[in-house]
Amino acid sequence: MEIRGERECKDCGTRWSYYETGSVSCPNCESVRSVGVDEERKRHTAGQAALDLTEVRNMIDAAPESDVADAAIENCREFVRRTGFIDAGELQPLDDVYLAARELRQVADIVGRSYDPTEDEELYYLSLLRGADRGERPAPDEVPAGLREARGLAYAEAVQAYRREIGTWIDDQDGEYPAAMGALATLGDHVKRIKALQGDVDPGTAERLVRAARNLAEAVRWDDEDALARCRERLERLSDAQ
């Protein structure tokens, strides 16, 4: 949505930034009667989402594994739902916390509810629970074979959401980035392919998809031709791997 994020309360005159608080209520008197004071509306999809898995981790030794998994899934689902990538008109990076949350949601559904996960799968699941909210992502070569689909699907869905917002941001710039549109379309094709495979791709392929998306964002954010070239190179390597 496009909003005037700098607000002034009609009741007490307090000014605040919706971009910073994510709230339409006045921080001083809690009135919801306010007016925008900035000159232009700006696209804003980023919420005030924060992933905190502390309570989930505290459940590990005291609650059934299925309850721990359900709590992890719900925390990640809510975080993903409230996360956007355009903040006051500025395109934001695809960060590691978002990627880890997407993956933990998938892995918890598989391992946390499994009657017989392997030791490697359990350790991997616990590593995500321990570090996802700090943006700690296991390296591609650490992904157990039984969980590669979870990572592949999680990353494809993350890139799909991010690609959509890159496209929205480009549209808001009145078509100033024609050179990036081909890469944007190709990125979408690779997302569709990986999703059609239910994520069953090598973890290195999923990582390359993420890096291509990040390169594309850098290219349009900073008008960086080198970043666009890196994006295209990674997309070509994804095509070669099919």
Is residue 229, in this structure, part of any structural domain at all?
A: yes
Measured distance CA(117)–CA(42) in Å, rounded: 47
Q: Does residue 231 surpass a pLDDT of 70? A: yes
Consecutive H or E run containing 73: helix 65-82
Question: Quick one: 29 and 111 in the same domain?
Answer: no
Q: Sort 213 into a burial class: Cβ within 10 Å, 0-12 / 13-18 / 19+.
A: buried
**What is the residue range of 25's domain?**
2-42
| Within a domain: 102 | yes
Do 175 and 101 belong together in one domain?
yes
Confidence of residue 3 (pLDDT cuts 50, 70, 90): low
Whether residue 38 sits in one domain with residue 58 = no
> Are 189 and 112 in the same domain?
yes
> What is the tally of structural domains in the chain?
2
What tens digit of pLDDT does each residue of 20-60 get? 776 778 889 888 888 888 768 888 898 878 999 999 999 99
CA distance 46 to 155: 19
How far apart are the C-alpha atoms of 78 and 75, rounded to whole Å?
5
Q: What Å distances lie between residue 52 and 62, 98, 133, 225, CA to CA?
A: 19, 12, 6, 37
Q: 88 and 9, same structural domain?
A: no
In this model, does residue 115 exceed pLDDT 90? no
Average predicted confidence (pLDDT) for the chain: 92
The answer on 213 and 113 residing in a single domain is yes
Q: Are 18 and 52 in contact (CB under 8 A)?
A: no
